[in-house]
Every structure is written in C-alpha cells, then in structure tokens.
Amino acid sequence: MKLTIKDIKGKDQGELEVKFPLIENGKGTQAVHDTVVAYQAAQRMGTACTKNVGDVAGTNKKPWRQKGTGRARAGSFQSPLWRGGGVVFGPKPRDFTKKISRNTRQLALRKAMSERLRAGDVVVVDDLKLGSGKTKEMVGVLKALELKGTALIVAPADKNLTLATRNVADVMLTTSDVLNTYDVLRPDKLVFTKNAFEQLEARLGKE
C-alpha cells in the first residue's frame, strides 16, 4: 500500500510505501478488544471507598432496651438499616489494571493501523514545523489538509506545535513511541509526519 505525502499547504509531495504487512480478515480483533479494555481499565482511579459497620464511628451500647418500648429490636447505631450506618458490600479501593502481553499489544496496534489505513483515515505530511505557536497557524494547516471532525497528530515533540494545537478543539497531539491502540481508534483522522510514520513502522516491524 502507498500513501500520498502532503505538505502543510495540502500539496502532494510524493508517495510513501507502507512497509509493515497489513493484517487481513478477522485476525487481531480479539487482541484489539482486550487491549482497549485494559487501557480503559488502567485509567480508573480505583479510589471509591465506603465505610462498613466496623468503620462507622459509634458505640456498642444498644439504642434502647430489648423489650418494653414497643419499638423493633435494635442492637447497634452502626446498623446498615439506619441513616448514617455502615454500607453493605460497598466499594473499597482496588486496582483495576489488567495484564496484556507484549505480543497482544503489538498485534492489536498492527490490526488497528491496518484498518485505519484501509479506510483511508491516515494522512502523511512531510513535516509539521510551524513558524510560531499561534493557534491560527495550526487552524490554517488543518484547513489545507481538509481535516474535519476529530484528529490525532503524531509528530516529534515540538514546542510551537504543542502551543499551536492545545487550544484547537478536537485535535490531540502525541508521539509515535507512545502511540497505542486506543489512540489509533478514537479520532476520525490520523495525521502523521513522515518521520513519525517511519518510527511507527519500525515499532510494528519488531516481532
């Protein structure tokens, strides 16, 4: 598969051959699912906490005597049936992370990239060096590339690029060495610099 390389003005600057083999058929679908679930689980704080009967402040004294009051029997102010009492089977702090093997993550990323390439959702530009960090300049680049909806820009770290994109709605910025399956699947379009795409190919080419 070949991709057209564009400049920041939207003009064609040649072609780029995709070097890693695209995944065909249904292979890798489960790996993508498992990887995305693990990624989203890892984002959870896991800090929800409730007090059970033993944690609630109180006393061991009975609220009233066992018999003779006409009221139901009660033995504790901390009862879950009472307002301010303990919570039955409530959440406690926990770790939601799931273990995913390196081979599974690699397969999932290759599968996700294969599908986005076949769908024509990947744009490659020769470079994304901006003259300043002004938002207006980045908006002009997006218009020249005819990008609509959400977009993920994958490019080497650059101060001007970071400043120019941080106030643009629905545009995210990352680098090829930390790109993951969830990042690939989330936006409408993926914008790679030529250098960043080659670095990603090197990652995907490793067995």
The model's pLDDT over 158-179, given as tens digits with 9 standing for 90+, comes to 899 999 999 998 999 999 999 9
Specify whether 118 is located in the same domain as 49.
no
Specify whether 26 is located in the same domain as 70.
no
Overall domain count for the chain: 2
pLDDT the model gives residue 206: 67
Specify whether 69 is located in the same domain as 121.
no
From CA 113, how far away is CA 47, in angstroms rounded? Answer: 34
Per-residue pLDDT tens digits of the chain, which is 207 residues long? 889 999 888 888 899 999 888 888 889 999 999 999 999 999 999 999 999 999 999 998 999 999 999 999 999 999 999 999 999 999 999 999 999 999 999 999 999 999 999 999 999 999 888 888 899 999 999 999 999 899 999 999 989 999 999 999 899 999 999 999 999 999 999 999 999 999 999 998 865
The DSSP letter of residue 132 is S
Specify whether 90 is located in the same domain as 53.
yes
Segment holding 114, helix H or strand E: helix 102-118
Segment holding 30, helix H or strand E: helix 29-42
Specify whether 77 is located in the same domain as 125.
no
CB 110 within 8 A of CB 33: no
Tokens of 40: 């989203």
CATH of the domain at 149: 3.40.1370.10
Tokens of 31: 């790996």
Considering only CA atoms, give the Rg of the chain. 27
pTM, to two decimals: 0.83
Tokens of 190: 């993926």
